[in-house]
Structure 1
Amino acid sequence: MLCALGTAVCFGTASVLQAAATRATAPGTGSGVDPMLLMRALRQWRYLAGLALDGVGFLLELVALLSLPIYAVSAALAASLAVTAVTASRVLGVRLSGVEWAAVLVVCGGLAMLGLSSGAEGTGKGDTALKVGVLVTAVGVLAFGAVAGRLRGRARAAALGLGAGFGFGVVEVSVRLIDDFAPMAVLTNPAAYALLIGGGAAFLLLTSALQRGSVTAATAGMVIGETIGPAWVGVSWLGDRTREGLMPLAVTGFALAVLGALALARFGEAPAEE
């Protein structure tokens, strides 16, 4: 659980740096999904610093996923918005309303409930059909992004954010489906390719969403996409369970963490420094 919380700290802080860098990057033209936008953002030191934090957060996420049910890690990832909100208030002088401070406390309370109620990760490793399914889903995220990029206004931002959430969700599930790290086993495991494609697609779609549309809509879509689906897969196919008799507490904690994150969705992007 400490690794999951560390992931939230890394991702939440990284989003402040990356969003400021993304908004300072010249926009492209055409579709809302612009691969060159990511290349331009990589010229910004703040974006690179954010990527470094993302790398550390990803390693912590891997450790957490090997010990915790997916639903607990998913909620912790959504809780990174609480970290972003607090960081933005301290570093960039962004003012949080009373409702937003309450949302931060709700997120923390939800995570505490999950920490108390979460059991060990399920023992299921998924069959070949599930591994192929996540690979197909990862490719589908790219196709979904191509369509979403042609929408307009808040609909485009929400759709791109949702697609990014699906991509991050693919990463969460794929980690659990890689049960043998021998080189040949990894190369023949569809989940390994799903992890790479899903992660890359998620970064591309999220970068495009933050640069081109409503941050609140994009982040809300991302939170929904990266939490509900992976949690369902973990419980339905991989055997994730709660501690004996504590399922109501886990369900309540998960709901509070996600709803609190949605209330903080505008902090998916902190304003660029002047």
Structure 2
Amino acid sequence: MIIGLLTAVAASACYGTGSVLQAVGSRKSARREAAKSSATGVTQHGGPSLSSTAKAAVTWEFMVGTVLDFIGFGLGALAARLLPLFLSQTVISANLVITAVLSIKLLGIKLSRAEWSSIAVVCSALVLLATAAGPEGGGHTPIATHWWLLVASLVLIGGGTLIVRLMGSRAAILAGLLSGLGFGALGVGVRVLNGVDPFHLPSLLGDPALYAILVAGIGGMYLHTVALQIGSVNGATAALVVGETVVPGILGVLWLGDSSRPGFAWVAVLGFVVAVAGAVAVAWFGEPEGEPVPAAAAQTGAEVPAQATGGAAPADGGAHEERTARAVTTAPER
């Protein structure tokens, strides 16, 4: 249990740091696109185009963040096999706290009292969950359920990507939620994967759960990148927290036999509900108000140079940064 908790905490730290670095890279790329008066950075619906997302992914900040995500994935996969999913996924989702704290320094974002209170609620819920968690269940399931997991992952990522692209600039929270569901499917896939213990390569390669992990992981990373491009980093991450916590936690209990300590079931339920409610609150309070910026400024990047050249942070503690970055990535196609 202790090793699993430490592993989950380390995964959380990697994911939280990676999210902020990816946000920094995404917004740097968006400012460059705006400075060039590029009309290819957005779709007709106002969301980021595939090319702009690809350009965001090759900034050094985003690449370092991606490396941390892969490390976090490995640690999270180990935690998913050592702990009940409702505990491992929730502890990993505490990267929300790390994301919020680092975003103050790296993105110049000033958190409101409501956001800090919501983060405190999430941390308190994690303590309740850790106290109530019992032994993890088994990961042995019929192969048919592995096929269902693959189909669900394909539908989730394929359909979700289409919907997000159609919604454009309004899809930040939805993209974060869908990416979280993808990472949740990844966690379930890791838990049920055949050919791992003991290691047997033919069983591993023949398991549909392996391909569900790949689809859900890659698709989840893409949708998370989109969410970071068009919305609040804390709001997008909080929506991701809900997606990667709720469904895996429920499936772990109903499908995989995860359980709480005897007599602590109510504590586990309370902690789970409070954790999700706290994450939703952070998503709600963390979403920028979207104060309008003149279209000409958004399309020409007139508000960008001071930020892009490393100028001093604005006096409003980062609200300008949030509004400018969002205006840049959601400028209408000319």
TM-score, structure 1 as length reference: 0.89
Cα distance in 2 for partners of 1:83, 1:199 equals 21
1:59 to 67, 71, 74: 74
Partner SS state of residue 82, structure 2: coil
Q: Do 2:48 and 2:168's aligned partners in 1 also have CA atoms closer than 8 Å?
A: no
2:248 to 220, 224, 230: 230
* Paired position in structure 2 for 1:188: 206
Q: CA deviation at 1:203?
A: 1.0
Counterpart residue type for residue 43 of structure 1: V
2:10 to 3, 6, 10: 6
Cα distance in 2 for partners of 1:233, 1:130 equals 12
Name whichever of 40-49 and 234-243 sits farther off.
40-49
1:105 maps onto 2:123 in alignment: no
Task: Flag the 1:22–1:91 CA change in 2: closer, same or farther, 3 A.
Answer: closer
1:166 to 175, 178, 181: 181
What is the CA RMSD across the aligned residues, in angstroms? 2.6
Q: CA deviation at 1:217?
A: 5.8
1:145 maps onto 2:125 in alignment: no
Counterpart residue type for residue 29 of structure 1: T
The aligned runs of 1:1-274 (5 Å cut-off) are: 1-25=5-29, 26=33, 27-30=41-44, 32=47, 34-140=49-155, 141-154=157-170, 156-181=171-196, 182-213=200-231, 218-265=236-283
TM-score, structure 2 as length reference: 0.74
Cα distance in 1 for partners of 2:287, 2:61 equals 15
Counterpart residue type for residue 137 of structure 2: G
Q: CA deviation at 1:220?
A: 4.5
Deviations 1:6-57 (A, max 9, x none): 1111111111110111122233435747443443123211101111211221
Q: Do 2:20 and 2:233's aligned partners in 1 also have CA atoms closer than 8 Å?
A: no
Cα distance in 1 for partners of 2:21, 2:232 equals 18
Cα distance in 2 for partners of 1:245, 1:148 equals 43
Question: How much identity, in percent, do the aligned residues show?
Answer: 36
* Larger-Rg structure: 2
Name whichever of 229-238 and 211-220 sits farther off.
211-220
Cα distance in 2 for partners of 1:110, 1:159 equals 24
Cα distance in 2 for partners of 1:199, 1:183 equals 21
Name whichever of 253-262 and 63-72 sits farther off.
253-262
Cα distance in 1 for partners of 2:203, 2:67 equals 28
Q: CA deviation at 1:216?
A: 6.2
Cα distance in 1 for partners of 2:163, 2:116 equals 36
Name whichever of 33-42 and 11-20 sits farther off.
33-42
* Paired position in structure 1 for 2:297: none
Q: How many pairs does the alignment contain?
A: 273
* Paired position in structure 1 for 2:304: none
Deviations 1:66-117 (A, max 9, x none): 1111111221233211111122234554333333222222222111111111
Cα distance in 2 for partners of 1:217, 1:105 equals 15
Cα distance in 2 for partners of 1:129, 1:47 equals 37
Task: Flag the 1:162–1:145 CA change in 2: closer, same or farther, 3 A.
Answer: same
Cα distance in 1 for partners of 2:186, 2:126 equals 21
